[in-house]
Copies of this chain bind each other. A is one copy, B any other.
Amino acid sequence: MKATINDVAKRAGVSMKTVSRVLNKEPNVAVTTRARVLQIAQELNYTPNFAARGLASSKSYLLALMYDDPGPTYIMEIQSGAIDVCREHGYHLVLEPVKVPKSGLAGPLIEDLEARLKRLPVDGVILTPPLSDSQIVLDVLTRLKIKYVRVGPSKNLQAIRDKETGLTVFMDDRQAAFDMTEALIKTGHKELGFIQGHPDHGSSYLRLEGFQAAINKYGLIVPTSRIVQGDYTFRSGIAAANALLSGSNTRPSAIFASNDDMAAGVVSVANRLGINVPAELSVCGFDDTPLTRKMSPQLSSVCQPIYEMGHMAAKLLLSRGDENLPSVQAVDYKLIFRGSTGRYLKDV
């Protein structure tokens, strides 16, 4: 049978409690005692019983990752980052897909969420976009007194900067979009086009803001016809590119799409129309998804450190009490230039 804490205690000639102290790295154990217990635990191949610990301590040693379909790559990266931290702390990660209803009715969602969280009372929740902005979800968690961390929230950014919010990990989408736009302008582009993301996602607005701020800074003018609404899908990128490239007006020399899928749509339309990318048209995206490297020319984009965000999120949840860890964490992005902007033209 599997060894229990009692087996270890007996063999070590100490009480159960002392073994518990050693294993939980509590202070106040004689060095020699600690060493002996540790060795015997190893000899017996002892590992504490998960359920028993949970029951006695009323902790679950579980963190939940809540998501509502923000794309498989994104979630997997967040997961990886979070899992690595969980491991260090003896925690595990469970998955909680959540469907936020498109239209008003929040009732069923709230009930469902509560039921699930009561069934499996996790010690903390990682919220990914768009859930990080869902007041409904935040309210439920607050009511159930479950700790949470918001990853990439896009609303209330001002409050975040003022640290009036809870645990948060975010990337400065606005600044990143600003930087990318500035890079395009500095390469000589004056005729810019922009494709906005899904109207329900806060990031859409932040990225647009960054774009416009750079435009303004350099005194350029972008007519409203050059700013097209998309919804983060490839298909919407196609539609937007058609509007931008095949009209009777002069076409832009560079298009900044709010994500990679839409940018891929632009490249695809350009190819069909015989517009050479990047010679006649520069294109860049956002998110630096794997897709950027699965097209020709490869796509310039903004790289979010998603793994790191997941890592930091779990860390914030599991390192409570560490005053050295600010509750709001900004992570760094990177501009990645590839063939599609022609700055550093690379072979595929």
Contacts and interface: CB of A to CB of B under 8 A. Distances in A.
A39 B58 CA distance: 27
Contacts of A271: 271, 296
A146 interface: no
9 contacts: A2-B118, A49-B55, A51-B58, A76-B76, A79-B95, A92-B94, A235-B293, A264-B295, A291-B291
A52 B55 contact: yes
A75 interface: yes
Contact of A234 (B45, B119, B269, B294): B294
B72 A92 contact: no
A300 to B, nearest CB: 17
A25 to B, nearest CB: 16
Interface string A226-264: 000000001100100000000000000000000001001
A216 interface: no
Contact of A72 (B45, B72, B296): B72
Contacts of A79: 95
**Chain A interface size range:** 35 or more
A272 interface: yes
Contacts of A345: none
Interface string A81-105: 0010000001011110100000000
A294 B76 CA distance: 20
Given A47-B115, A55-B49, A348 B294 contact: no
Contacts of A265: 294
Contacts of A48: 119
Contacts of A234: 293-294
A329 interface: no
Given A51-B55, A119-B50, A93 B92 contact: no
Contact of A348 (B119, B261, B268, B348): B268
A121 interface: yes
A323 to B, nearest CB: 29
Given A50-B121, A268-B348, A94 B94 contact: yes
A294 B291 contact: yes
B119 A47 contact: yes
